[in-house]
């Protein structure tokens, strides 16, 4: 009679997580610097401002106007970037 040997399944080591790329670190650092400058800029602009747009007029603090413009710009940037990525994927 032959003895059959049972082999343990081979253990495949998990790949080590890759460190963030240099480009990702640069983007993070630049983003934090822009956020810091924007925060300082907003903190110095608490005076009232008269806003006129088309037929609308209102009075508000300048900080709210600047903050809403920054948020609108960020949203526009994200949307344009997402559309570019989507367009590249359709081409492939």
Residue 59 confidence (pLDDT) = 93
pLDDT in tens, 58-81: 899 999 888 888 899 989 999 998
Question: In sequence order, which residues have a C-beta less than 8 Å from that of residue 48 and are 6 or more positions away?
Answer: 59, 60, 61, 62
Distances (CA, A) of 64 to 11, 27, 37: 58, 26, 16
Domain membership of residue 6 (yes or no) is no
Per the domain annotation, does 60 fall within a domain?
yes
Report field, pTM of the whole predicted structure over 0.85: no
Would 57 be classed as within a structural domain?
yes
Tell me if 75 is assigned to some domain: yes
Stretches where the chain sits below pLDDT 70 are: 1-12, 15-20, 92
Is 49 a member of any domain? yes
79 within domain boundaries:
yes
Query: What is the number of domains present in the chain?
Result: 1
Domain boundaries, position 60: 25-91
């Amino acid at each position: 009679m032959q003895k059959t040997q049972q082999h343990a399944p081979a253990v495949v080591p998990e790949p080590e997580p890759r460190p963030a790329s240099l480009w990702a670190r640069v983007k993070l650092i630049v983003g934090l610097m822009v956020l810091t400058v924007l925060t300082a800029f907003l903190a110095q602009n608490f005076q009232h401002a008269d806003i006129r747009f088309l037929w609308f007029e209102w009075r508000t603090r300048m900080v709210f106007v600047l903050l809403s413009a920054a948020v609108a710009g960020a949203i526009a940037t994200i949307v344009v970037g997402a559309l570019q990525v989507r367009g590249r994927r359709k081409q492939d």
